[in-house]
Every structure is written in structure tokens, then in C-alpha cells.
Structure 1
């Protein structure tokens, strides 16, 4: 596969951008693939190579790269009427009403411009509403590039996970292991009166699609109720991907106080949102005393793209299609792994999937979950499947990134940059795409 133009572009980029990229996850070895355009479920790079795309913009492209006519028309109409106004428009009200109508926890919503901005604003809102400072987060969870959550360590020794974050900021964040109910109870017993909120992804989407064990989110809900803290679900990845229009909270049957969104809510354009109980969200300025604002918030093109994407998904059985393909893909991967790499784990749900190169202590694949790890206690592999972000980080990440991903790219399969990120099926993918993908996986493991 000729990739000379990508290599030359990366050479140029290194002279004018740090690391040659504008987002660190794109800096894959030996150099990234520069994309020229999308085509349905495929991308074509600058050298003319064609790939089945499972990155899908890291999630927002639910419909694929070729937008249905109603969605494309709405985007073009909004763009042709003017780039932006710095004033309210009808379409942002329409999109707000759609989200409120379908997501269980959302009575009121504030649109922003990214998932990071959404979680930053949600943390500020929780602190302002409760009058408390501390935030509980999951080790291995990801909530964007914000100071309150770029924290590692344990509950008693939190430290910044990157240069540039003051240690004083990290002291207000309490990291706990995902799926560890006892650890959550202990931090509330020690710090409950200081905790403004628990911020958690319903499914850890940046550490191998780690599913919650049964009852875990219910325990967090009970602890927050007992101590007067807020439960915040970060559904930037899972929102309108897992659980359809009700999102992951509908699937798990737990209603958070606040929910953060991104990705699909903007139909592929930059977006974020914070939704929740009206009595809480109304504390945002100008109605309340928690300042939040943004010149590009509620951008008319983004709002039009998000609204028409969600309306199209609701009217055309999009979720049935993507979830069925996702299940078929995961089932096939379970078979491949069982035959060739029984220590590895297939993860995912709905239209999300991944193979985590875990180092299981037993190779048994008998009676494994048939379509990806569901944290089923009756599964023979229950003890070996990842429960925390640390479990995924102990996987064979170098093998995945340096050998497996380049092999798949040579076979025309575009996967996410590393072992940790979700991979996504879109409405544009077909059964033929799935079969070609499974053949490529089989070829790697043979």
C-alpha cells in the first residue's frame, strides 16, 4: 500500500504543529494516515487508498460519511443563510425539545461546543449547586482535557496526570476504581459532606469499552442520594449510541442528575451539551449564579445537523441496523478469538466493539459471552474480563498498536489509534463490510 503522500504531509506538519497533529491521539506510529474524503462507510486517504472506517470521527458519524438527503439539505440550508449570528435561533430550541423529549434525565439543556466544555461546565454547575468542591471520578475514565479530571492516583493520593495542572486542583478530585462498590462507599464515608458530584461514564469508552457490573450505577445513585451529591453521567460517547434515543441511562435504568453529551448531538459538527433536572440546570447564568457562556454555543449549522441526524435515526430504524451489525461483528470476533487467541477479550455493545489484547490467566473460551463481555457473573470468563481501566492498561497495548493496527490498515480496515478507544459501526456499514472485516481479523491471528 503506497502511503508516500501521508508521509510527506506528516513531515510538513511536524514543522508547524506540535507532534505534527492537532489532537494527540492522532499521532500513530510511524505516521498518521491523512484522509482526503469519506464515502459511506469508507474513507479514502490522500494516496487514494480505501479503508472500511470504524473510527467514524470517534463516534459522531452515526449515519456514516454520506449523509441522507434531509440531513444534508438542512446543513446546506443553515450554512447558506449565514455562518453564525451570536443570537438565538429556532433550530436550537427544536433540538433542545427533541433531547428533552427522549432522554429520561433531561428536563432542561444547555448547548456548548465540545465534550470537554460540557464536562467542565457540568463540574462547575455541580460545585455551584451543592456548595461543595470535591469530585469523584473513575480511574481510567475520560472526561476531556479539563483540569478537574486529568488526575491519577487513588482516593487519598490524587495527583495531576499531566504537566500544567496544579496539584491544588488534583486535591479536589477523588479517583476510584470503576466497578468497585466498596471503594465508592469508603470515599463517601470519608468525604461525603465534601463531595459535589460523582462523574462517571456509564461505560468506560476510552479504556476498552469496559461495561459496568450489575448494580454498580445503582450503588452510585444511592450514595449520591444519601449524601446530597449529584450523579453526573458522561454520555459524550454513549449518548445516542448505546440505548438509542434514551441513551445508556435508559439501558441501565439509572437516572442521573446531570448528563453531558457530545458527538452525535451535533451530527458530526463540534458540539457538547449539559442536560438534567431543571432545578439544577437553571443555576446556569443568566437564570442562576453559575457562569457559563460561549459565542459559538447553539451554532445554527451544528444544531441543524444534530436535529436532522436524530430525527432520521428515529424514523428509519437506524439503531436496529447498526446494533445488528455490531452484534454480528462481535459474535464473529468471539469465534475468531476463541480459535486463535483465547486470552483476548471481545468487548462492546450496540454499535460499539473492540478486541482487547488481555492477558487472561486462563485460556478458556467455553461459555463466554457470545457477543462481547457483558459482565455476566455466570460467564466462565467473568473473573478475567476487564472490570477497571487498569485491567485494560495491563493488556498487550504495544502489540495492538505496533503490529495489529498496521496489519489491519494494510488490509483496508481503519481502526482507532490505540487499544483504548471505542470503534463504531455506522448506518452506512453493510453485512459485506462486516464479513470483510472478520476475514482481516482471522488473517491476522492465523
Structure 2
């Protein structure tokens, strides 16, 4: 493939943008390809190269790069009426009613502008509602670029995970391993009266896709209720992708107090949201005493795109289609890995997928999970598959990024550029796309 135009664009961007990009994960080596346009399940770069796209904007593009006609019409209509108003619009109410009708935890919702803004606001809300300061988070979980969760270490010995955050922020954040009930119990034994909330993704989605083991999410629900803390599910990635319109909380049958959203809820436009019990949500200003506000919150074009996208999904076979297609892909990947790299682990559910380059595996794969790790204790991979962020970090991350990703790109398949971020199947993908992708995996592995 020729990449002269992308190389020249990257050279220009280095002069005017830090690292040449506006989001760190886009800075692949030696340089990223620059996308010129999308086409269904594909993107075409500045040099005319065509790729089957499984990044899907890091999750928002449930329909790929071609919006269904009702979604496109709604976006065009609201955009032509005016960019924004600084006043409420009916479409905000329509969208809020739809979400509250379908998501178990949501009685009221506040729309914001990004997943990060949603989780920042949710943490502030939890602290304001409970009168407590400490937040429990999962190691390897990601909740946006916010000070309260960019923290590493052990309970009682934490530090910011990046420069620019005062040490004092880390004092109130307690990281624990995902899927470790004993660790949660120990934290609540010591800090229970000071914990405002446990904040977790129901499925770790920024760390290779890690499923909860059976009963783990319910244990979090029980412990937080016992101690008067809130349970916050970060469904920025899983929301309206896992579990359909009920989201991951519906799939797992565990209802949090508060849920954060992003990505699909805005139909591919910048968005975030915080939803939860009415009593808790009413603590946000202007009805309560926890300040939250934003100029672009509830932007009419975003609300129209999100509402039309979810309405279309509700009225058509969207989730059945994308989930079946993704299962076909994961089953194919499982077969390929068993032959080519039996220590690797295929992960994912619904329309999410990834192959984690784990370093060890069982000798006998009889009765292994057939379409992505589901944390079945009867699976021979159970003791080897990733249970938390550290397990994924211990995989062959450099091999993924430096060799495998490049090999797949050269074969016309666009994957997320490191071992950690999820990949997604869209409504625009076809069985032919899946077959060609499996052939590319087979060759690259």
C-alpha cells in the first residue's frame, strides 16, 4: 500500500498538534493513515487505500459509516434548522423518554457532551448525594480523562497515573482488581463508611474486553447496598451495544444506582449522559445542590441522531444481525487461534470482539468457549483467560501493536491500534466482510 499522502499529512500535523494527533490512541507508528471518508463498513484513506473497519469510531458507529435513511433525515433536518439555541428542545425530551423507557436503572437522565464529562459528573453526584469522598474503581478500567480515576496503586497507597494531577486527588480513589470479590470486601471493611461509590464498567472494554465472572456484579450490588454507597456502571462502551436497548445491566440482570453513557447514545456525534434513580438525579442543579451544566449539552443534532438511531434499532433486527455476525467472527477466530496460536484468547460478546495475545493456555481445548471468553469455570481456559486489567497488560502487547496490527492493516483490515481497546461489528458489515477478515487473521497469525 502507498501511504505518501498520509505521511505528508502527519508531517504537517506534527507542526501544529501535540504528537500530530488530537487523541493519543491515534498516534500509531511509524505514522497513522489519515481517513478521507467512510463507506458502509469501510474507510478510505488519503491515498485511496480501502480498509474493512472494526474500530467504528471506537464504538459509536452501530450502523457503520452509512446512517439509515431515517437517521440521516433527522440529522439533516435538525442541522438545517439551526446549529443550537441555548434553550431546551423537544427532541431532548423525546430522547430522554426513550432511554428511561428501556434502560433498567434510568428514571431520569442528564445529557452532556462526552463519556469523560459523564463520569466526572457521576462521581461528583455520588459524592454530593452520599456526603462521602472515596471512590472505588477497577484497575485497568477506564472512565475518561478525569482526575478522580487516573489513579494507580493499592488501597491506601495510590498515586496519579499521569503527570498534571495533584497527589491529593489520588487520596480519595481506591483501585481494586476487577473480578476480585475478596478485594472489594477488604476495602469496604476498612473504608466502607467513607465510600461514595463503586465505579466500574460491567465489562472492561478498554482493557481487552474482560467479562465479569459469575456473580461478581451482583456482589458489587450487594456490598454497596449494605454500606449505603452507590453502584455506578460506566456503560459508555457497552451502552446500547451489549444487551441491546437494556444495555449490559439488562444482560447481566444487575441494576446500578447510576449509569454513564456515551458513544451510541449520540448516534455518532459528541455525547455523554448520566442516568439513574430520580431521587439521586434530582441532586443535580437546578433542582439540587450538585452543580452540573454545559453549553452544548442536549445539542439538538446529537439528540436527533441518537434518538433516531435507537428508534431504528428498536423497530428493526439491528441487534440480532450485528450480534449474529460478530458471533460468527468470534467463532472463526476461536478456530484460527486454536490452530495458529493456542495460547491466545478470543474475547467479546454481542457485537464486541478482540483477540488477546495471552502467553499461556491449556493443553486440551475440549469444551472451551466457542465464541469468546465467557468466564465459564468449566472452560479449560478459565485459569488462563484474563480476569482483570493486569492479566491483559501481561499479554504480548508489543507483538500486537508492532507486528500484528501492521500486518492486518496491510491486508486491508482496520483494527484498534493496541491490545487494549475493543473492536466492533456494525450493521453495515456483511458475511463477506467476515470471511475476508478471517482469512486476514489466518495469514497474519
TM-score where L is the length of structure 1:
0.99
| 1:290 corresponds to | 290
Name stretches of at least 5 consecutive residues in structure 1 with no aligned partner: none
Name stretches of at least 5 consecutive residues in structure 2 with no aligned partner: none
| 1:176 corresponds to | 176
Aligned 8 A contact 2:361 2:381 in 1 = no
Once residues 417 and 165 of structure 1 are traced to their aligned partners in structure 2, the CA distance between those partners, rounded to angstroms, is 26
Once residues 377 and 360 of structure 1 are traced to their aligned partners in structure 2, the CA distance between those partners, rounded to angstroms, is 17
| 1:7 corresponds to | 7
Aligned 8 A contact 1:112 1:297 in 2 = yes
Once residues 142 and 387 of structure 1 are traced to their aligned partners in structure 2, the CA distance between those partners, rounded to angstroms, is 16
Aligned 8 A contact 1:160 1:166 in 2 = yes
Per the TM alignment, residue 41 of structure 1 is displaced from its structure 2 partner at its CA by: 0.4
| 1:20 corresponds to | 20
Q: How does 1:270-289 map to 2 (within 5 A)?
A: 270-289=270-289
| 1:377 corresponds to | 377
- Report how many residues are paired: 445
| 1:110 corresponds to | 110
The secondary structure found in structure 1 opposite 2:434 is: helix
The secondary structure found in structure 2 opposite 1:71 is: helix
Residue 359, structure 1, aligned to residue 339, structure 2: no
| 1:161 corresponds to | 161
Q: Give RMSD over aligned pairs.
A: 0.6
Q: Deviations over 1:397-442 (max 9, x none)?
A: 0000010001101100000111000000000000000000000001
| 2:410 corresponds to | 410
Once residues 182 and 292 of structure 1 are traced to their aligned partners in structure 2, the CA distance between those partners, rounded to angstroms, is 35
Per the TM alignment, residue 33 of structure 1 is displaced from its structure 2 partner at its CA by: 1.1
Aligned 8 A contact 2:342 2:361 in 1 = no
Residue 401, structure 1, aligned to residue 405, structure 2: no
| 2:84 corresponds to | 84
The secondary structure found in structure 2 opposite 1:88 is: coil
Q: How does 1:249-328 map to 2 (within 5 A)?
A: 249-328=249-328
Once residues 302 and 365 of structure 1 are traced to their aligned partners in structure 2, the CA distance between those partners, rounded to angstroms, is 46
The secondary structure found in structure 2 opposite 1:353 is: strand
| 2:74 corresponds to | 74
Once residues 94 and 389 of structure 1 are traced to their aligned partners in structure 2, the CA distance between those partners, rounded to angstroms, is 38
Per the TM alignment, residue 364 of structure 1 is displaced from its structure 2 partner at its CA by: 3.5
| 1:45 corresponds to | 45
The secondary structure found in structure 2 opposite 1:80 is: helix
Aligned 8 A contact 2:35 2:43 in 1 = yes
| 2:246 corresponds to | 246
Aligned 8 A contact 2:344 2:361 in 1 = no
Aligned 8 A contact 2:38 2:44 in 1 = yes
The secondary structure found in structure 2 opposite 1:126 is: helix
Once residues 268 and 96 of structure 2 are traced to their aligned partners in structure 1, the CA distance between those partners, rounded to angstroms, is 17
TM-score where L is the length of structure 2:
0.99
Once residues 364 and 179 of structure 2 are traced to their aligned partners in structure 1, the CA distance between those partners, rounded to angstroms, is 23
Once residues 156 and 177 of structure 2 are traced to their aligned partners in structure 1, the CA distance between those partners, rounded to angstroms, is 13
| 1:201 corresponds to | 201
Once residues 321 and 362 of structure 1 are traced to their aligned partners in structure 2, the CA distance between those partners, rounded to angstroms, is 33
Per the TM alignment, residue 156 of structure 1 is displaced from its structure 2 partner at its CA by: 1.9
Once residues 30 and 378 of structure 2 are traced to their aligned partners in structure 1, the CA distance between those partners, rounded to angstroms, is 42
Once residues 8 and 206 of structure 1 are traced to their aligned partners in structure 2, the CA distance between those partners, rounded to angstroms, is 30
Per the TM alignment, residue 365 of structure 1 is displaced from its structure 2 partner at its CA by: 2.6
